[in-house]
Amino acid sequence: MFNRATETARQHRFLWEGRDRHGQSMRGEMKAANVLTVQAQLRRQGIFMTHVHQARWAGCAALSRPERVAFTRQLASMARSSLPLLQSLDLMARGPGKPGLRRIAQQLRLDVATGQQLSSAMARHPKSFPALYRQLVAVGEAAGVMDHTLERLALHEEKAWALRRQMRAALLYPAVVVGVAGAVVALILAVVVPTFESVFASFGAELPLPTQLVVAASQALMAAWWPMLAGLVVAAGVYRWVMTRWPALKRLANAAPLHLPLLGLLIRRALLARWARTLATLLEAGIPLVDALGSVAQAAGNPAFEQATRQVQRSVCNGQRLSQALEGAAVFPPLVVQMASVGEEAGALERMMGKTAELFEAEVDDEVKGLSSLLEPLIIVILGTLIGGIVVALYLPMFQLGSIV
């Protein structure tokens, strides 16, 4: 009996084709228990099914951050043009966008057509639409101002994505250069040095110390590259296990980047910009401060900021002003406290938090440019010294042999 009920409730993925009331061809996918359920749901939406088949379940790929930005901006533009939600989602499902975006739009359209709210339909895709995103959409639906809410949400997503790209550019460039440099050095030690080593053996003389060090490094790499690679894999697995088993260590590891030289201040300002932008967006949507702080804590992006925001939320619940609560938390600089105080006095806290986000975003932009201009010559000097030192060490015996002859 239980197994039969379980089989009945099991959901399958169906790909269907059909025509609407105007004879236009449509296609999409649906999760349902059987083909009859698919046909009945499509009939309620005014779609005559012409073909359906069960597809192998592969889930629905989550929207990437750029795809979510594009989705939000398109939906906001259509809402501003007074297009009905179903028609907007239908246009996005048929449009020239990426397949993942069209598939999400099609599934949202099907759910909304059955009477669900857009926020409820989005809740079925938590990886594509985070809790903060769905909360703002739900507020817009409740207040009947979806066009304004989507505009704010689109701006928030665009700012967050721009900030993420800046941080990625700041961190990716040195990482790529160091990785390429490591590969070049390993190639020299594994391929070039052994060739020179056979030549050095014919000299019959003691090699200079720099050459001996390079040859020893080459021999160690050739003899132990497999254990070193296995050790790295094991270390990565142990790190993941430790981070899963001990949350306190995970919090310490996630807070460590905030104290790095050069990059620590940049990461902290990026987190502050994200924090202020999220709070401003929630307050502009009409969400109460205490509830907004809870959502900001979930989207903080760093355990230190999440813990501090929870502390601020508890202080505000106990009757403190936001500026006083921020002053008692360790991660918020005086600028944030000052802007919050001015916003509270003027009754425009959301606007002042937006200005705070803009200030930190501008500082991040300037620091990324300055960091790139600082790291580029530094990396070139380090790489030149390292590779040039290896080359000189390889040719040093030949120079000495020439001076003896």
pLDDT tens figures, 188-222: 888 888 887 777 776 666 778 888 888 888 888 78
Of 39, 29, 36, 34, nearest to 12 by C-alpha is 34
Alpha-carbon span 104 to 123, nearest angstrom: 12
pLDDT tens figures, 129-178: 888 888 888 888 887 888 888 888 888 888 888 888 877 877 777 778 77
**What pLDDT does 43 receive?**
81
| pLDDT at residue 28 greater than cutoff 80 | no
Q: Is 115 left (phi over 0), alpha (psi -120 to 50) or beta?
A: left
Confidence of residue 9 (pLDDT cuts 50, 70, 90): very low
Work out the number of other CB atoms within 10 angstroms of the CB of residue 101: 21
Which CATH entry fits the domain spanning 65-89+115-160: 3.30.930.10, 1.20.81.30, 3.90.420.10, 3.40.630.30?
A: 1.20.81.30
Work out the number of other CB atoms within 10 angstroms of the CB of residue 304: 20
Residue ranges per domain, the chain? Answer: 2-55, 65-89+115-160, 163-405
Q: What residue type is 265 in one-letter code?
A: L
**Tokens of residue 40, six digits:** 């009945």
Q: What residue type is 397 in one-letter code?
A: P
Confidence of residue 339 (pLDDT cuts 50, 70, 90): very high
| pLDDT at residue 62 greater than cutoff 70 | yes
- CATH code, 163-405: 1.20.81.30
Residue pair 119/137 in contact (Cβ under 8 Å)? The answer is yes
Please tell me whether residue 130 adopts helix, strand or coil conformation.
coil
In this prediction the pTM is 0.68
**What pLDDT does 96 receive?**
74
65-89+115-160 matches 163-405 in fold: yes
Alpha-carbon span 319 to 77, nearest angstrom: 40
| pLDDT at residue 6 greater than cutoff 50 | no
**What pLDDT does 314 receive?**
92
Residue pair 79/91 in contact (Cβ under 8 Å)? The answer is no
**What pLDDT does 317 receive?**
92
pLDDT tens figures, 288-338: 999 999 888 888 878 888 888 999 999 999 989 999 999 888 789 999 999
Return all residues near 118 (Cβ < 8 A) that are at least 6 apart.
85, 108, 112, 137, 141, 146
